[in-house]
Amino acid sequence: MKNEHSKAMIKTYLAVFGALAVLTALTVMVSTLHLPRVPAVALAVLIALVKASLITAFFMHMKSEGRLIAGIFLASLFFLLVLIIPVIIDIGF
């Protein structure tokens, strides 16, 4: 029983690994296309977000943790946005 479960887990891990590798290749490939600045940045950040979510959800088991831990992590991301948005409005442009 326990072994069955962990076999399934190992499959998931390897699938996630594959996805991460593909996404890495993808982001490098996209960067060679010389897209205009805004879509290029948006795409790169989007791919990074997907990769980071995969790692936190599966490798860090966020998916099976309760809401508390997800809340802690998301709260820090939220406050990061609170920091970056006004400052980028002020200095960034």
Q: By CB under 8 A, tell whether 59 contacts other proteins.
A: yes
Among 1, 3, 36, 64, binds other proteins (CB under 8 A): 3
Q: What is the DSSP letter of 56?
A: I
How far is Cα 80 from Cα 88, in angstroms, rounded to an integer? 12
**Contact by Cβ (8 Å): 43, 30:** yes
Which two three-digit tokens encode residue 29?
């490939």
Residue 23's nearest CA partner among 61, 53, 62 is: 53
Site for other proteins in 29-48 (CB under 8 A): 30-31, 37, 40-41, 44-45, 47-48
User: Which residues contribute to the site for other proteins (CB under 8 A)?
Assistant: 2-3, 6, 9-10, 13-14, 16-17, 20-21, 24, 27-28, 30-31, 37, 40-41, 44-45, 47-48, 51-52, 55-56, 58-60, 65-66, 68-69, 72-73, 75-77, 79-80, 82-84, 86-93
